Amino acid sequence: MNASYDWRRSSSRGGEIRLDKNAHEYAKQAQANLPDLNVLDFKETDDEYHIKASPREISRRCPHCASSDDIVSHAWRTLVIRDIPSHGKAVAIHLDVPRLKCRPCKKTFTATVPEVDTGREMTMRLTQWVGRRALEYTYAEIAKQVKVDEKTIRNVFDEYVAELEKQFKRETPIWLGIDEIKLKRFRAIFTNLHGRSLIDMLPDRYTTSVVSFLKSLPDKERITHCAIDMWSGYRRAVQEVLPNAKIVVDKFHVVSKANAAFDIVRRKVARESDGGAGLGLKRAHKLFDKRRDDLTDEQYLTVSGWLNNFPVLAAAYDLKERLYRIYEVETPEEAWGEYLHWESTIPNELSKPFRAVKTAFRNWKPYILNYFDDQRVTNAFTESFNAKVREVYRNGRGYSFERLRAKVLYTDMFQKRVKVQERVRVRKQRFEDVTTARYMCLATPMQDDYEIQIKTRVANLGADLSTLELVFDSGKF
């Protein structure tokens, strides 16, 4: 979106306005802000500052053959270069740049100006500003501020994210959570279970992608537990890369199958009911999803009324509640015994809807029972985050998965930084009274030359999930 400005135009023609205090300040700072350019003139309109300038230095190297020995001037070209907005106004630099001709290859090209991206017609500092700004604001808002096309903002942001990716340092957790979120397709997400923070999001959940990510983690040997859902790709990836980590099937994914089974029964009863019962059962579905102990007195009366009227619904509700109670026992042996008793009480008419629960326990038994060791590892807290991310993704203007991921991972206000203490083996400081023989024995230091020290450093656990959820709820993401 080029800005045209006729430098011969007078103020009487209406395009130019008198410089206010802010404009005078900006005019004084323009040269300091643009050290590689000679500022020749300065004008102001209602919504823009215009700077006429010439480059102090140019690169005469031919981009086609890399020659710089036999280059001659061919013509002049005026570029309209966008710079960082100031005082709420866009900034356009009208830059006269020579067109050059390379005699060896007989091709012409525009001279390169330091700190100017001639391809995008932006200053380099503007590209950095756009990258940082796009983590906080929509592309449309930035494009309006800068007065460039929204597609240009997106492309600049993609390059900025690629650079951030190289700098992003992950703190490998002791307990790792692996889950997924469906944003058009399934994407794997990784969480720090102790820190309740997001480590990363992948564009897919292929086993090869998960393996590659796990291999990229520094100090991955420190991971003792992995909480996953019941997708075999995650299990294979963890077994390959983290053979010593204990795999735990998250309890949320087990009990959610009981909720789904009950919902199948509820919908079937609603379809077969006469009068307004079907509509009432549909409206009450959120009450049925709650645990019995979490219902208020009024809600409990409503649920009890439906269950008393439909015995099959009451039986399904009882199965759901008793499956939850399995997770209240202490040991894996108790849990398996409770499950076998639960399975034996499934009525024949409910065998089909609850088959998924039985299949899960039969296929994933050791990993489900690993929950009942002394740690009780769970990744259930990410489900609320997943739901809100899906809503943001659906409603976000201009969001691709890559941009949503970058905004979540790289916005500074979301980062969860904590101080951690580490035991470090360091060499003792030498004193002047140490004997010369020992001082010179550098190749084979003695054992008592080392000591253990406690050192403190700041660790980034990733994006704090509670902060993210607050921002999602405020509508300011």
| CB of 305 closer than 8 Å to CB of 287 | no
Structure tokens at 467: 């902060």
| CB of 418 closer than 8 Å to CB of 461 | yes
What's residue 27's pLDDT? 60
Beta-carbon count within 10 A of 91 CB: 24
Torsion region of 413: left, alpha or beta (phi above 0 gives left; psi -120 to 50 gives alpha): alpha
Task: State the pairing for strand pair 116-117/197-201.
Answer: unpaired
Task: Walk along the chain (477 residues) in steps of 10 and give the mean pLDDT of each run.
Answer: 51 44 61 74 86 82 77 81 90 86 82 81 91 82 91 89 82 94 92 94 95 94 94 96 95 94 93 83 88 90 92 95 94 96 96 96 96 86 85 71 85 87 73 49 58 84 91 81
What's residue 8's pLDDT? 44
CA distance 433 to 455: 27
